[in-house]
Amino acid sequence: MSDILIACIDGLKGFAEAIASIYPATEVQDCIVHQIRNSIKYVASKDQKLFMADLKPVYQAVSKDEAEHQLEQLQEKWGKKYPVVIDSWRRHWDKLSTYFQYSEAIRKLIYTTNTIEGFHRQVRKVTKTKGAFTSDMALLKLIYLATQNIQKKWTQPLQKLEPDRITTIH
């Protein structure tokens, strides 16, 4: 691989720096789903539904400016009660808002690492049932075959993707 346009990562410490050291032009997007899960851990269960309703306009905004406005609204309403949560969104905002420079259809592809995690889960399901492998090649062959089977399920077309943007997704 010679270049990466954008990398969606799970916030693992040092991951963004590792990517930047090899692919300096790559844009990094922190996984919104991971950020939401991390945030909700600090919100009292009685407030979670309301908080999530107020958080949704932040990450589903039509533009970065609108998202920042919604983040201000969220801070005004919840900042005193949950400063740790709001501070986390603020500290990570540069990597949480990268996807706003893309169209809505592209954003749906790059805002979360769930697709990759699903792929890894399916590969683990196949490999964990085997006690040991006779060689590294045996493991590689099993992963290759698992990948072939997993790809058969990738039948959903990309929704509302502009034809001129398709070439940028490799």
**pLDDT tens digits for range 69-119:** 999 999 999 999 999 999 999 999 999 999 999 888 888 877 776 677 777
What is the reported pTM? Answer: 0.71
pLDDT at position 114, please? 64
- Domain extent, residue 33, equals 6-110
> Does 13 fall in a domain?
yes
Q: Are residues 91 and 64 in the same domain?
A: yes
Q: Are residues 92 and 145 in the same domain?
A: no
Q: Are residues 35 and 65 in the same domain?
A: yes
Q: Are residues 60 and 138 in the same domain?
A: no
Across the chain, mean pLDDT equals 85
- Picking from 82, 76, 95, 91, the residue whose alpha carbon sits closest to that of residue 40 is 82
Q: Is the pLDDT at 28 greater than 80, yes or no?
A: yes
Give me the number of domains the chain comprises: 2
Q: Are residues 39 and 97 in the same domain?
A: yes
Q: Are residues 73 and 87 in the same domain?
A: yes
Q: Read off the pLDDT band of 164 (50, 70, 90).
A: very low
Match 């300096």 to its residue by tokens. 24
Q: How far is CA 86 from CA 35, 36, 43, 71, 93, in A?
A: 11, 11, 11, 8, 10
Domain boundary among 110, 125, 158: 110
Q: Are residues 121 and 106 in the same domain?
A: no
Q: How many residues does the chain have?
A: 170
Q: Are residues 123 and 105 in the same domain?
A: no
Q: Are residues 151 and 72 in the same domain?
A: no
> Does 1 fall in a domain?
no
Q: Are residues 105 and 119 in the same domain?
A: no
Q: Is the pLDDT at 170 greater than 70, yes or no?
A: no
Q: Is the pLDDT at 51 greater than 90, yes or no?
A: yes
Most confident of 43-47, 123-127, 138-142: 43-47
Q: Is the pLDDT at 55 greater than 90, yes or no?
A: yes
Domain boundary among 85, 110, 135: 110
